[in-house]
Amino acid sequence: MPLHTDDASNIGRCTPVTESRSTGMPHSAANPESAYRDQWLALLEKNGVRRPTDLAVIAVPGIVVQLTRGEPSGSLELEESPGSVLMVNLSPVQALRQERNQRSFVNNMLNWDMTLMPRGTRSKWSWNSTCDRFDVILSPDVLGDEHPMETVDRFLFRDAKLKNLCQRLCREIILRDRADRLLIEMLAIELAEVFLHDYSTAPEHTRGIPTGGLTRNNAKRVLEYAEANLGRALTLRELAGVAQLSVHHFVRMFRKTLGVTPHQYLLERRVERAKDLLRDKRAGLAEVALSSGFGSQSHFTSAFHRAVGATPSEFQRLFGKPI
């Protein structure tokens, strides 16, 4: 049961949060994830629900993901959802009551059972035992203006493709400051494509997925731009803008042309840059991490180890140039 809008009658007065016009997601100039987390905790308190033992939130363009563990039993009434909401039960069994659109549904949700709620829906929820769950909010423009994300209403279902993507998202959100945000953005696009194909209210003829690749000039522009900006955080929307394509089309066409996703390509280039920098034994790991475009030293260490099979320190000792 993720957070909805920050309507003044709801909880917007609890924290200095506004609603993003582009995504409909709550945001704060300082830290949108802290603002989102604070709003959720304030909503629980308002409804008499004690705090969960753990609450992790990550927000990237087009998506907010929330992992909640150990949330005590209770009930909530939520305002209109700012995007399509997918709630995944991670508890072994959860007795849940859902009410929305003049319908109510009571059932035992099993592990990895899901419920999907369209944008703009008001809802009521109640559960009678401690809850572990994973929530996803996809903004209407996650796939671009030509494919607005409007989904059907599903009270209870299972989906192997969505489960796989949510498991990967869960693994990233658990890493917190070591999470790969570009990967989360990539997974959000894949998740949205499943929604578009299988759960969208859009006419069938508008759900087409691009099959061609980038033109040679487009590919050249994107790769040159990525190389010139490798040392800072890049988003899929930014790269898609260089190609003058929607994110949805850009990701598919990039993979068709280069054989890897934009995330995989950037990760490979950043690791190669880091290797070059690490060969100078005078380079500090924090400096190398930032110069290579990793968000933190911990993220750099884990990503480098996965790609190379050695930590940055081990690589520097083995392959560093003598001073």
| Residue 319: pLDDT over 90 | no
Instruction: Evaluate if residue 15 carries a pLDDT over 60.
Output: no
Contact between 248 and 145 under an 8 Å Cβ cutoff? The reply is no
Looking at residue 124, its pLDDT comes to 94
The predicted-structure confidence for 127-150, as pLDDT tens digits, reads as follows 999 999 999 999 998 887 778 889
**Tokens matching residue 163:** 């489960």
Residues 168 and 191 sit within 8 Å (Cβ to Cβ): no
Specify the residue for token string 């998202």. Answer: 169
Going by pLDDT thresholds of 50, 70 and 90, the confidence category of residue 247 is confident
Is 271 a residue whose pLDDT tops 90?
Answer: yes
Angle at 187 between CA 181 and CA 192, to 5 degrees: 130
Whole-number average pLDDT of the chain:
85
Gap between the Cα atoms of 236 and 39, Å rounded: 27
pLDDT number for residue 4: 54
Residue 241 CB: number of other CB atoms within 10 A?
Answer: 15
Give me the amino acid identity at 60.
V
